[in-house]
């Protein structure tokens, strides 16, 4: 099966990118410039009118979009995925949806143009007001049931949470009230697959695109 992941460095596609590396699946990367919506073959809007990343091309399937769905799809190519409709499957599904809707989207400031993360004090504060209570929930869950989201073992949802803790680091949000999240972030950074992804992606797109 041929997998092509459309990504921008340091953005949410880092989650499926990490998962592909973790699972050792063969894949091909295509970088998208989110400022002018281009890639090596031209207009990215021709790939997906949604105009965002990640997107995953799988042989002759319809293009897969939505980070949580892409993660679940990649998971199904491995033994990491809990069997369908088991309690662990639903637990993972809840995490994927929570991270997508409560964390990922709330991290994207309505003030921001160009890199979709906050870059002014006002914008940063607004994002924090929305994200912080949702992170408190994650913090409590990790304390009760960690060190990973589903317990002892790395799961399909963990790389998605790592995208969020990585953004916290990059934007200098404090981990002072989030020791579990800090430990999670550190643990993830120690994984060889995560280190390979950082090396492959390089500087976050928000720091280099459009310059």
Ligand X SMILES: N[C@@H](CCC(=O)N[C@@H](CS)C(=O)NCC(=O)O)C(=O)O
Contacts with ligand X by CB under 6 A lie at 11-12, 34, 51-54, 66-67, 100, 104, 108, 116
Residue 134 C-beta: closest distance to ligand X, Å: 15
> Measured from the CB atom, is 30 or 66 closer to ligand X?
66
Q: In angstroms, give the least distance from the CB of 145 to ligand X.
A: 24
How far is the CA of 10 from the CAs of 64, 82, 164, in angstroms?
20, 27, 10
46 or 51, CB closer to ligand X? 51
28-31 and 3-7 strand pairing:
parallel
Q: Min. distance of Cβ 185 from ligand X in angstroms?
A: 18
Which residue sits closest to ligand X, CB atoms considered?
Answer: 52
Residues recorded for the chain? 211
Whichever of 67 and 81 has its CB closer to ligand X, that residue is 67
Shortest Å distance, C-beta 136 to ligand X: 22
Say what the alpha-carbon torsion angle 143, 145, 147, 148 is, to the nearest 10 degrees. Answer: -130
Q: Which residues pair with 101 in a beta bridge?
A: none
- Closest to ligand X by CB, 146 or 201: 201
Task: Annotate 56-73 with b (16+ C-beta within 10 A) or e (fewer).
Answer: bbbeeeeebbbbbebbbb
User: Is it true that the peptide bond before 54 is cis, omega within 30 degrees of 0?
Assistant: yes
Cβ 18 to ligand X, closest distance in Å?
A: 14
Angle at 94 between CA 91 and CA 100, to 5 degrees: 140
State the minimum distance, in angstroms, from the CB of residue 122 to ligand X.
21
> In terms of CB distance, is 7 or 184 closer to ligand X?
7
Alpha helices, DSSP H, located in the chain: 14-23, 67-76, 87-98, 121-145, 158-170, 179-189, 192-201, 205-208
Angle of CA points 101, 102, 104, to nearest 5°:
70
> Measured from the CB atom, is 38 or 147 closer to ligand X?
38
């Amino acid at each position: 099966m041929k997998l092509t992941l459309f990504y921008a460095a340091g953005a949410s596609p880092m989650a499926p990118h990490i998962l592909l590396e973790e699972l050792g699946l063969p894949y091909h990367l295509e970088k998208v410039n989110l400022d002018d919506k281009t890639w090596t073959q031209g207009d990215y809007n021709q790939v997906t009118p949604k105009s965002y990343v990640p997107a995953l091309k799988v042989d002759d399937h319809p293009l897969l979009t939505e980070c949580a769905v892409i993660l679940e799809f990649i998971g199904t190519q491995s033994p990491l995925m809990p069997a369908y409709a088991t309690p662990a499957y639903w637990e993972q599904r809840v995490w994927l949806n929570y991270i997508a809707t409560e964390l990922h989207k709330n991290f994207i400031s309505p003030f921001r143009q160009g890199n979709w993360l906050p870059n002014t004090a006002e914008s940063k504060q607004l994002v924090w007001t929305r994200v912080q209570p949702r992170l408190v929930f994650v913090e409590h869950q990790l304390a009760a049931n960690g060190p990973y989201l589903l317990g002892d073992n790395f799961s399909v949802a963990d790389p998605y949470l790592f995208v969020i803790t990585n953004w916290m680091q990059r934007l200098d949000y404090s981990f002072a009230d989030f020791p579990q999240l800090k430990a999670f972030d550190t643990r993830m950074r120690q994984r060889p697959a995560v280190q390979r992804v950082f090396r492959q992606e390089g500087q976050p797109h928000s720091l280099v695109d459009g310059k």
